[in-house]
Amino acid sequence: MTEIVKVSQLVDKLSLEVVTGSAASLDRDIVTGDISRPGLELTGYFNYYSHDRLQLFGSKETSFAERMTPEERLMVMRRMCSPDTPAFIISRGLAATKEMIQAAEEHDIAVLRSPISTSRLLGEISSYLDGRLAPRTSVHGVLVDVYGLGVLIQGDSGIGKSETALELIKRGHRLIADDRVDVYQQDELTVVGEPPKILQHLIEIRGIGIIDVMNLFGASAVRGSTQVQLTVYLESWEKDKKYDRLGSDDTTVEIAEVQVPQIKIPVKTGRNVAIIIEVAAMNFRAKTMGYDATKTFEERLTKLIEENSGN
């Protein structure tokens, strides 16, 4: 599942100025997050022209174009206008040439402008498009922001995932998605989760029904998206099953082709799972900062054994 991004959405997101462009040109699809800086094309070399990309003009491209004759500029700009070219974007608030505007209007392509630097604009456009155009998959679970850490709560149906999330929300944490989480790979090490539009801000509690978290708890109780940094799997307590008591089992689960750390929490009557998840999130953050309580315990145990063996 991949979203479609319109030129108008990019304009709204980055507050771009529309130098010229009709409603139809602003409705064009952007199909790739790659951005083209058409330096070679301005020299007349079109063998590998990426016509389906946004065409970004910085100070280098603009200054080179100014050295061309008006006829040369118009000829090149017309060649750059193809049926699937999304738009031309000019950075640093530079002026668009008459030939660029003429060619763009002839082919109904929008010309946009931004006051920020070329490299910064390139980064902002790429970041936005990569996130929007990345293929999405859905996973079952509840995604919650706990102390700024994206925690995906999973487990068998009826184990109490939504109820645990509700308790976390009451304790000041934030809901991202309940029941179904749309995830996509931001890069090789990062996976991001967000709610499907139909489920945004909603959570289902058995016996009560669907509640609107934002309406009941306020805007601070919800968040649009977050990185999935830790998964917590809730499983029913089994008397004879052995559970990890030291936290030395480093297990992961694959989500959107990214390996995400996972911990398993046995659930039984009397255990406050919400508090356990809070502590698990704080402990995970401590580990990422270099402190591991399990290693500290093992070092103390080893030292104690050595001291006793020397007596």
Domain limits, the chain: 5-133, 137-297
Q: Long-range CB contacts (< 8 A, 24+ apart) of 92-97?
A: 92/58, 92/59, 92/116, 92/117, 92/118, 94/57, 94/58, 94/59, 94/62, 96/19, 96/20, 97/62, 97/65, 97/66, 97/73
Binding residues for Mg(2+): 162, 204
Catalytic residues: 140, 161, 179, 245
The pair of three-digit structure tokens given for residue 17, joined into one six-digit string: 């100025």
- pLDDT for the residue numbered 309: 72
Contacts of 30 (CB under 8 A, 6+ apart): 5, 6, 7, 10, 54, 86, 87, 129, 133
Superfamily of domain 137-297: P-loop containing nucleotide triphosphate hydrolases (3.40.50.300)
- pLDDT for the residue numbered 248: 58
**Residue 275: CA count within 13 A, CB half-sphere:** 3
Checking DSSP bridges between strand 110-113 and strand 87-90, what pairing results, if any? parallel
Please choose, from the candidates 239, 247, 234, 227, the residue with its C-alpha nearest in 3D space to the C-alpha of residue 185. 227
Q: What whole-number distance in Å separates Cα of residue 217 and Cα of residue 212?
A: 8
Reported pTM: 0.74
Domains 5-133 and 137-297 share a fold: no
Binding residues: 155-162, 204
Please choose, from the candidates 244, 217, 237, 223, the residue with its C-alpha nearest in 3D space to the C-alpha of residue 142. 223
Q: Which residue has the tokens 């925690």?
A: 151
Please choose, from the candidates 266, 251, 261, 265, the residue with its C-alpha nearest in 3D space to the C-alpha of residue 284. 261
Looking at residue 192, its amino acid is V
Q: Are 88 and 55 in contact (CB under 8 A)?
A: yes
Q: What is the CATH number of domain 5-133?
A: 3.40.1390.20
* Residues in the chain with pLDDT values less than 70: 1-2, 243-249, 270, 292-294, 297-298, 301, 310-311
3-state secondary structure of 105: helix
Q: What stretch of H or E contains 48?
A: none
Handedness of CA 166, 170, 171, 172 (dihedral sign): positive
